[in-house]
Structure 1
Amino acid sequence: MLWKAIEPLGRVPEHVMLVALGLAVLLSIALNSITHSRVTIGILLVCISLAVSRLQLRESIGVGLLAIAGLVVAGELSGSPAEDLSLMLSVCLIFLVTYAAKQRKATRAAEAREAVLAERARIAREIHDILAHSLSAQLVHLEGAKLLLRAERTAEALDRVTRARDLAKSGLDEARRAVSALREDPPALPVALRTLAEDFETTAHRSCTLRISGAEHRLTPETELALLRTAQEALTNVRRHAPGSPVQVELAFDRTWCDLRVTNPPSAEKGSPGGGYGLVGMRERAELLGGTLSAGEHDGGFLVHLRVPS
């Protein structure tokens, strides 16, 4: 009830509040020297607490020093300075306790702001990864279709346009899934990887073997998202650059690290040209988490290896 009563003080100009609290401190000290009432002591301590919580540190120190000086003068005038010594100690204690509480509140507010900014950055990075990959791949296919049309190779141009359409649909689906994941609690990483493997087998008509080793446990949302997006990018690259090739996804848990390996043998079919810009983003995401990502030829095939702290 007390804090509800004094809440409007937060809208009072600071200089007005400083003068008002200073006068209230002096008046409560004067009344206490006459009445020696607990009510006046309570008013004095409330004023000190208000000064610390509502004013800047310099102004609140001024109010505190004014209270100490007033108690010293009141003690000298009454001839019993020792009697006001305990009250001085109470003033100092209230000052320190209120200031510590104010600092804790400021720290929590700063941490909350940092969390909001970090979440915004994560959302921006997630949407960017999806759109950048989808749109860049579409541009490659559409540019190829334009060149093929100029060469009057309409069948091949139509195939490029069809691929660009499929990529646009896939990118839209990924964006919807990302927004849905941001709104609700995402599934555990092994479950998400199994869904990803099943989607690959359905769309690519090739096997996608998933192997999980070690004691499964939940990782931080950022880490699980990095692992999932890396697997997703690797499977997309297999469809583009090694069509018809089967894939093996391995996820290994231990107490300190988590390893993701996506491997595929070479394909007899000709893939689409273009660089792996998506893997560059995945490498940056891994470095932010304190991990590493490598991608390249391995045992005649291709390996994407992500290692992040668990």
Structure 2
Amino acid sequence: MAWKRDPDRPMLLGLVFWLVLGATAVINLVVPSTVLERILFFADVVLLCVLWPMMPWQPGRGRHLVAPAFLAGALALGLTGSAGTHFPLLLIGVANLAFVYGMRIASAILVAFGAVLIVVPLFYGRTIVDALGQTAVIAVMSVFAMGMASAVLKARQLTDRVRELTVAEERGRMAAEMHDSIGHHLTVIKVGLENAERFRDRRPEAAWEEVRQAKELTTAALADARRWVRALRPLPLNGNLGSAALQRLADSFTGTGVTVTFQVSGTERELEPDAELVLYRVLQEGLTNVLRHAEAGSVRGTLTFEKGKVVLVIADDGKGRDHDQGHGFGLSTLADRVRALGGTLTSGNAAKGFELRAELPS
């Protein structure tokens, strides 16, 4: 029976329920009462013991009638000789209504119970003043319980929202990693195979060299894919750090038909791992876009260490970009990642060609 192990049932409330119910039963045995009242009282106790493990603590779980039945049973204890010790059970019942039905429906149910509390005591010979006084006490306790339940419900909603945002962020990061890593490799492989096709008759040795490089890049692409599938964390930069990783990335574009150069300006200093990864991705995206769109003959990457910041610029001598052409997925994602580190990413046409510029604090 899965409902007996409901993970949404607060453990502390379970402890309070059994302690209060036990204490109430003991007190009833001490307080004088008629045989009928005692029979009704213990029948009510048995009913609550049966209802307690069946109570749902989330909406949409079924067994919704159990919640008002439990509250009715807790109220009945007061009419059969609980001597007021049943009030904590009332608080539990009210809180359960809020969890199961929501604040509005729970409030309507409590109003209905309040009307019953005013009328029923009159049949036991009590005055209207006594009935109103008891109802007022229970009403105050209900407001307190509803307030606590509302706080818990809001905390649950916040937790669910944080979980949704975390999942969405991870999905976005996965998409960015796939685009940056696999997209880069596939672009270089495509260009290499096109070169091999062009060289196959006139320069067969060069064609086979392109095929060999494409095979190596395919192996690297598969390794990258396995890494980000296995663990959702920034991909290692092939064992290289700082400018060495960027230099190796620039060298991987050799033989694509575009002359790629990379240089470092200023005194190099150690950067945070997140900053290193973002700079790596910016250079990767910039060089890949040159191959895809620029129709350039050369591209130059420059990493400059300035006071308080590091600047990476990728500039080509291609055709530039049409003003009506927006940023693609890669640049938009990179801009978000750069901003998250307190930096800026800008791009646009230069005097000749296109320029991508990333600035990060260091």
- Bigger shift: residues 115-124 or 159-168: 159-168
Mapped partners of 2:251, 2:189: distance in 1: 21
C-alpha displacement at 1:155, in angstroms?
3.1
Matched, 1:293 2:346: yes
Corresponding residue of 1:111 = 162
For residue 160 of structure 1, the aligned residue among 210, 214, 233 is: 210
Residues 191-230 of structure 1 aligned to structure 2 (within 5 Å): 192-197=241-246, 199=248, 208-209=263-264, 211=266, 225-230=277-282
- Bigger shift: residues 45-54 or 282-291: 282-291
Corresponding residue of 2:331 = 283
Q: Which has the larger radius of gyration?
A: 2
TM-score by length of 1: 0.68
- Indicate conservation of the 8 Å contact 2:263/2:303, yes or no: yes
Q: Cα distance 1:133–1:75, how it changes in 2: closer, same or farther (>3 A)?
A: same
Corresponding residue of 2:90 = 44
Runs of 4+ in 1 over 6 A off after TM superposition: 11-16, 184-187, 201-207, 212-218, 235-243
Mapped partners of 2:301, 2:60: distance in 1: 67
Mapped partners of 2:117, 2:306: distance in 1: 69
- Indicate conservation of the 8 Å contact 1:148/1:157, yes or no: yes
Residues 197-276 of structure 1 aligned to structure 2 (within 5 Å): 197=246, 199=248, 208-209=263-264, 211=266, 225-234=277-286, 248-250=302-304, 260-262=311-313
- Bigger shift: residues 105-114 or 79-88: 79-88
C-alpha displacement at 1:237, in angstroms?
8.1
- Indicate conservation of the 8 Å contact 2:315/2:354, yes or no: yes
Mapped partners of 2:169, 2:150: distance in 1: 28
- Indicate conservation of the 8 Å contact 1:248/1:263, yes or no: yes
For residue 63 of structure 1, the aligned residue among 109, 118, 123 is: 109
- Three-state SS of the structure 2 residue aligned to 1:10 is coil
Corresponding residue of 2:33 = none
C-alpha displacement at 1:12, in angstroms?
10
Residues 66-85 of structure 1 aligned to structure 2 (within 5 Å): 66-73=112-119, 77-78=126-127, 79-80=129-130, 81-85=132-136
Residues 84-163 of structure 1 aligned to structure 2 (within 5 Å): 84-149=135-200, 151-163=201-213
- Bigger shift: residues 65-74 or 169-178: 169-178
C-alpha displacement at 1:117, in angstroms?
1.9
Q: Cα distance 1:61–1:21, how it changes in 2: closer, same or farther (>3 A)?
A: same
* Larger helix percent: 1
What's the CA shift string for 1:6-31, capped at 9, x where partnerless? Answer: 56533999697443332332333343
Aligned length: 288
Identity of aligned residues (%): 20
Q: Cα distance 1:22–1:207, how it changes in 2: closer, same or farther (>3 A)?
A: closer
- Indicate conservation of the 8 Å contact 1:292/1:307, yes or no: yes
What's the CA shift string for 1:79-122, capped at 9, x where partnerless? Answer: 32234323211111101210221121122112212211220221
Corresponding residue of 1:182 = 232
Q: Cα distance 1:173–1:192, how it changes in 2: closer, same or farther (>3 A)?
A: farther
What's the CA shift string for 1:211-268, capped at 9, x where partnerless? Answer: 57899768xx6x764333113445778999778x9853125685xxx663235799xx
What's the C-alpha RMSD, in Å, of the aligned pairs?
Answer: 4.6
Q: Which amino acid aligns with 1:250?
A: T
